[in-house]
Structure 1
């Protein structure tokens, strides 16, 4: 068995984990699951479900935890979603959607789940409210559902660390989006109006990405041995190929 450094593990695994999470959250099946549970608007389901682990908070708190999204969209979708179910129940229903999607699409891999849970447990949650909320949420018992849930928690870990990184280098959420994306991405995230040219901020974004990688690597360093990191990365890639094609 080979070995990987912590930073090599970040580069091998983190993007795959992000993409698997994006796949289930944006899948039509997830939207239909939400509709069966009272959410006719898939975006109200997304915001209330994903962020319901924060509890009964104002939309400004949700915006602060999420980053990237325009505050007006966060407020509208959060308030619509929690009016349907309340934050705790919305999160519970969202977790059920994650579990059901995992049972349908994610192969059972007890070893990957074991290693991933160790990474989750090793993370320091300071400054990472969505990660902390999802880590505290009850885990499903059955294999594919549990693995999908744990990968979702790891995705929230990386996302929270990146928000820490962009804040550390002085990038506001819209600047962070526009530094490396076309205006259409900002529009997708709910921003409106004339967008500034933020291309000159790309070096700051790259610095934030380096900070994110370093913080993520520190978690892998604490959680897994070099051989376990190689095993973890290999299993993540295999799961990614099965889920993403």
Structure 2
């Protein structure tokens, strides 16, 4: 497989992996579980859970890693979350939630064992310098059953791509608000806590496209170290299939 084909595979895998984990993170059932676990605000459960692998950090430090949240909101959610349970316990709870969501909704997907194997080949050889959330999550113990393990591996791969993307985005000069507006628009900028009026970033559309291209090129290089061409294409196919299975199984 040549460079262009590996780039296509990396791009084709990244999108469904990201969407599958976002589906879990933002689903009402996940939020309800967080509330049941003691988080009055389910977003504090999300922040403490996802960021819990960073350890007993300050809100400022966690905000710098999450990048696209309004910093004061992120700090508040972090402090609220770790007041409910310590960071490491929050991360374990969130990991268990990830596994439970997969057991409930991903079991019907094909090739989950293989998806996990391919993903673990990537995480086994990809350095974590400059990628703190990826570094933390790749060291969490994986479940033994296929649905949960595949979902957890996809979670780690999502953090890998997100970390690569955020590094490139931060150095591009595009603000988080502009990135939201150029990506998913007004509702996402508001959901992530940014105050209006929102800079639409229209004059940076080409730069944002370049950031996406650089992210995909870096991910292609990462995949090329761990997988051959057939394996990279297989990862993309299985990831897409897992997302399709989730979309069918998960209630709206």
| Same fold at TM > 0.5 | yes
**Residue 186 (structure 1) aligns with:** 189
Paired with 2:186 and 2:101, the residues of 1 have a C-alpha distance of 31
Segments of 5+ residues of structure 2 without an aligned counterpart are: none
TM superposition shift of 1:111: 1.0
Count of residues in correspondence between the two structures: 242
TM superposition shift of 1:181: 4.3
**Residue 60 (structure 2) aligns with:** 60
2:145 to 137, 142, 146: 142
Segments of 5+ residues of structure 1 without an aligned counterpart are: none
Q: When the two structures are superposed, what TM-score results if normalisation uses the length of structure 1?
A: 0.94
180 and 115 in structure 1: CA distance in 2 versus 1, 3 angstrom threshold: closer
1:243 to 213, 222, 246: 246
TM superposition shift of 1:74: 0.2
Q: Does 1:163 align with 2:166?
A: yes
Paired with 1:125 and 1:172, the residues of 2 have a C-alpha distance of 24
Paired with 2:185 and 2:23, the residues of 1 have a C-alpha distance of 21
**Residue 23 (structure 2) aligns with:** 23
Aligned-pair RMSD on alpha carbons? 1.5
Q: Does 1:83 align with 2:86?
A: no
Paired with 1:32 and 1:184, the residues of 2 have a C-alpha distance of 21
TM superposition shift of 1:174: 2.4
Q: Which moved more, 1:79-88 or 1:202-211?
A: 202-211
Q: Which moved more, 1:160-169 or 1:50-59?
A: 160-169
Are the equivalent residues in 2 in contact too, given 1:47–1:74 (CA < 8 A)?
Answer: yes
Q: When the two structures are superposed, what TM-score results if normalisation uses the length of structure 2?
A: 0.91
